[in-house]
Amino acid sequence: MSRKNLFKIIVVTGIVLFIPFIAMLFKDQVRWSTFDFVLMDLMIFSSVLLGVTFQKKIKIPKKEYW
- Tell me how far the alpha carbon of residue 59 is from its chain's centroid: 22
Residue 4: CB atoms within 10 Å = 7
Kindly state the DSSP code that residue 66 receives in the 8-state scheme: -
CA distance 47 to 44: 5
Residue 66 predicted with pLDDT over 70: no
9-57, pLDDT tens digit by residue? 899 999 999 999 999 999 999 899 999 999 999 999 999 989 888 888 8
64 confidence band (pLDDT: 50, 70, 90)? confident
pLDDT at 26: 93
pLDDT at 58: 85
